[in-house]
Structure formats: C-alpha cells, structure tokens
Amino acid sequence: MIEGAKRLHTVEEYYFSKKLREVNMLKAAGKPIINLGIGSPDLQPPQKVITAITEGLQDANAHKYQSYQGLPELREAMAGFYREQFQVHLSPMTEILPLMGSKEGIMLISMAYLNEGDEVLIPNPGYPTYQSVTKLLGAKPVFYELDEANNWMPNIMALEKQDLSKVKLMWISYPHMPTGAQANYKVFEKLIDFAKRNNILLVNDNPYSFILTDAPRSILKVNGAKEVCIELNSLSKTFNMAGWRVGMVLGDGKHINNILKVKSNMDSGMFYGIQKGAIEALRCSKLWYLSLNSVYEQRRALVWKLAEALNCTYDKNASGLFVWAKLPPYAKAEEFIDVLLKNNHLFVAPGTIFGSQGEGYIRFSLCASTEDIQEAITRVL
C-alpha cells in the first residue's frame, strides 16, 4: 500500500470537519440540532454584489484564466477600502494581493517565509490553522499564552525572556479569535517594536474588524509597521461572502512579491465574476455595516442570555462573530459541550480546540437566527 507523506503525521483532521460529521449524523437521525459552533455567516451578501457576479457571467473574459494578482479594479477597490475604513494608504500595484480567502494566505505566507526548523510564535488560544500549517512545513510552533487577566494580549516581557533566535514569524489576530478581545494601537506599537528588535515577521489576521466594533483597526496604520508587518483580511464575515473565498494580504511590496511567487505556482487566478462582486462589496456605504451589526447585536444579546442560563460569564466589551464564555468552576469544555449536544441537541465549540488556554471556556457563534437562539435558551432553562 502506498503511504501518505510523513508530514500528515504532524496534523489531524480539522476539529469541525470531524465534529460536524457527528452533528450531521444526529440530524439525519431526526435530532433537532441547533448549531452555534461554526462561524459561517447565514445572512445574505449585499444585493448589488449578487447582481455584479450575475452580470459578470456574461462578460467575454469571464471564463478565461485570470491574473494571479487579480483584476486591477479589485486591487484598486481593496486600496480604497483600506484608505476609507482604516486610513491606511497602500499601492494597489505593489502592496496588495487578492487571495482565495484569508485561510489560503496563512499557507502562502508560511510557505514564502518558513524553512524547516524555523520557529513560529502562535497564540494560545488562537486559530488552529496557524499551528497545523507550521507543522506541515516542518517548522516548529512555539506557543505564547494569552489569558483573561491580561485581556488576551501578548505578554511581551515574557516573550523577550525566551530564546527567539530561531523565530521567523509571529501570528496575531485582533480582534482576537476566539475571545473577541480588541487590541488598541499602543498594543500594536509594542508588538511592532518587539518584532523589529527580534527580526520577526509579524502577521495580523484581521477578518473580524467590522463585526460589533465601533473602531475598526489595522496594524498597518502604525508608523513603520510595513517594515516588519503584513495583514490578512477577508470579505467572508464583513460581507457574508464566506463561500465566495475572497481575501487579501497587504503590506510592503517585497513581502507581497514573496507571497506572489508561491501563489502564482498554486492557482490560476480567481473567477472573474467573484472579483466583480467583491469590488461592489468593498464599495458598500456605512449603512451596510450599521445594518449588519444591528442583526448581530440582537443575536448577541440573546446569546448572552443563553450563556447566563448555562451559568457562564462573558465580556460585554468583546467584538467579533462569537461570544467567548467562561464555564462554571471545575467544568471541562469538551465534556460540557458533549452533554449539551446529547441532552439539549445544542452544538457549541469547546475552547480547547483553540489551545490549552481555552480549557474552561466555550465559544458561541452568532451565525444563527434569533428564533434558533431563543429555542436554545428554552432548551437549557
């Protein structure tokens, strides 16, 4: 029998891929499962976005291979989006690269910069893909712990005491996934200084910047950030376009060019119609964001009630697409969610899938209707 590559032994199947099979089996057996575990937006994109992709199908160039760098109009729209929303000025020619989702960017950035044996600073808790991609490339994950006492911010003094000689890359994600903690510009400045002192490429994964926050921030706004920072962003959450797979990586031209070297060998460009739809999304007015967050505010208020019904506590100042809730003392996250699934037919994510620092926490998604969340409250009362 032909065996898989040794690198496959360094990772496991993604948690949600496995768990959703169990959830789907329960659904198939007639169980009325309410899914509050996945951050997949259930709302519709703006209508003008859907119109743009539909019209794009009729264009003479729609079915040809597309540019590895995306349409010039798409890069212009991304530059305009960052200029208007973050007050960050970027060259659409050299400092922006459209991606097929920001998750693709995690792999591309890692492939562009990591050699076997390099070390990568990864948040605990944090997005599991940072760790899995690092392992797949033969690099070494080095976890830095985040905790509630420090508002889920990196402890730079503790990091400075470590041997950082092999560290090439550091992942951060603010607004933070899964906790929703928001970093201010002072935190960004300290992280940039840390990266400069230690010759580390700092990557801010920023897909939740417009969900339930009044102050979207980009690390690239900080003076001197481009020397050592790049940023990922996505249309998935902001415009309800998760299945479209549209993201972007932004930063200094030399970093973008390195990533392009990898990307141009991995795919043959994003579908034309999707690019046209993305352009329209990026041009949305403030009314779109107000309308989107109005829905999420209603849902979050209900999820807070659900958390309270389960004797959990939470931070009302957190942002993003989730509610990160602390379990009652001595409760174990995975045991807790398994009981909820079995007894109440309610699926939520255990904090442990985001790292050991997630023990004692669960994560609720806001990607469910108010009716479903109210029904979940009824089930646990």
Which amino acid, one-letter code, is at 358? G
pLDDT at 65: 85
pLDDT at 101: 86
Tens of pLDDT, residues 363-379 = 999 999 999 999 999 99
Burial class (CB in 10 A: 0-12, 13-18, 19+), 44: exposed
> Span 8-31, mean pLDDT?
78
pLDDT at 30: 84
For the chain, what percent of residues have pLDDT higher than 70?
99
pLDDT at 11: 75
> Span 355-369, mean pLDDT?
95
pLDDT band at 5 (very low <50, low <70, confident <90, very high): confident
Rounded distance between C-alpha atoms, residue 105 and residue 366, angstroms: 25
Q: Which residues contact 185 (CB under 8 A, 6 or more apart)?
A: 217, 221, 222
pLDDT at 1: 84
Q: What torsion do the CA atoms of 355, 357, 358, 359 make, to the nearest 10 degrees?
A: 110
Rounded distance between C-alpha atoms, residue 330 and residue 298, angstroms: 31
Q: Do 281 and 273 touch, CB atoms closer than 8 A?
A: no
Rounded distance between C-alpha atoms, residue 358 and residue 24, angstroms: 25
Q: Is the pLDDT of residue 75 over 90?
A: yes
Tens of pLDDT, residues 191-248 = 999 999 999 999 999 999 999 998 899 999 999 999 999 999 999 999 999 988 999 9
Q: Do 218 and 230 touch, CB atoms closer than 8 A?
A: no
pLDDT band at 190 (very low <50, low <70, confident <90, very high): very high
Q: Which residues contact 272 (CB under 8 A, 6 or more apart)?
A: 56, 59, 61, 62, 63, 64, 66, 71
Helices (H), 29-71: 47-56
Q: Do 171 and 109 touch, CB atoms closer than 8 A?
A: no
In whole numbers, what is the pLDDT of the chain averaged over residues? 93
> Span 65-86, mean pLDDT?
94
Q: Do 338 and 271 touch, CB atoms closer than 8 A?
A: no
Instruction: Enter the pTM of the model.
Output: 0.92
Helices (H), 161-252: 185-198
pLDDT band at 22 (very low <50, low <70, confident <90, very high): confident
> Span 317-325, mean pLDDT?
95
Rounded distance between C-alpha atoms, residue 138 and residue 42, angstroms: 36
Helix, strand or coil, per DSSP, at residue 212: coil
Greatest Cα pair distance in the chain: 62
- How is residue 202 annotated by DSSP? E
Residue 308 token pair: 């309270």
pLDDT at 174: 95
pLDDT at 363: 96
pLDDT at 232: 98
pLDDT at 19: 74
> Span 155-176, mean pLDDT?
96
Report how far apart, in Å, the C-alpha atoms of 92 and of each of 150, 162, 223 are.
37, 38, 19
Residue 11 token pair: 């990772």
Beta bridge partners of 50: none
Provide the pairing of β-strand 361-365 with 322-326. antiparallel
- Cis ω before 141 (30° cut-off from 0): no
Rounded distance between C-alpha atoms, residue 70 and residue 275, angstroms: 8
pLDDT at 23: 79
pLDDT at 145: 97
Report how far apart, in Å, the C-alpha atoms of 150 and of each of 318, 326, 333 are.
14, 15, 21
Q: Do 111 and 101 touch, CB atoms closer than 8 A?
A: no
Q: Do 236 and 208 touch, CB atoms closer than 8 A?
A: no
Helix, strand or coil, per DSSP, at residue 230: strand
For the chain, what percent of residues have pLDDT higher than 90?
80
